[in-house]
Amino acid sequence: MAEVMSPIVSERIWALPVSGATVKFLQYLLYRSDFGGHLPVRQKDMATEYRVTPQAVSNLIAPLCELNIVLRPKNEDGTRGKGNSYRLHPLAAKYASSQDMETAFRAAIASIKAGDLPNLKLPAYAAVPPEADGRPNLQVA
């Protein structure tokens, strides 16, 4: 069975307001994650696998946390955990099947509406308007 990537991220990854290095790191996180978004690796181990320092991992993951693509677990009192473990937002994760993804998306949307899960902070989709003559300019520089 082939895995299913979230179309919210996979089809819009090019529009994320982050650096190319951060997009590449997000691809690593998607590859490394379990179905549903759990990341079974801590920041120190990510640094070793990705061949960067733990501080570089912090710098790469921070913009993804700001967009709520990557989430840090919360403590029992609701504050952000101090550990260096993470998970992907359910709307940005990969799944074992389309049915699993649809079920997870429904649950995530309900959790967002209930205030238990933050919403993704992605830029709104905007189509580029066509040229005045209605045809795109496909000239190569």
HEC string for 6-26: CHHHHCCHHHCCCCHHHHHHH
The rounded distance, in Å, linking the Cα atoms of 70 and 87 is 6
Q: Which of 1-5, 23-27, 54-58, 89-93 has the lowest mean pLDDT?
A: 1-5
Q: Which of 60, 59, 82 is nearest to 72 (CA)?
A: 82
Q: pTM of the full predicted structure?
A: 0.81
The 8-class DSSP code of residue 62 comes to H
Q: Which of 3-12, 64-73, 99-108 has the lowest mean pLDDT?
A: 3-12
Q: What is the pLDDT of residue 75?
A: 56
Element (H, E) at 104: helix 98-114
Q: What is the pLDDT of residue 92?
A: 95
The rounded distance, in Å, linking the Cα atoms of 63 and 56 is 12
The rounded distance, in Å, linking the Cα atoms of 51 and 133 is 49
Per-residue model confidence as pLDDT tens digits over 14-34? 888 999 999 999 999 999 999
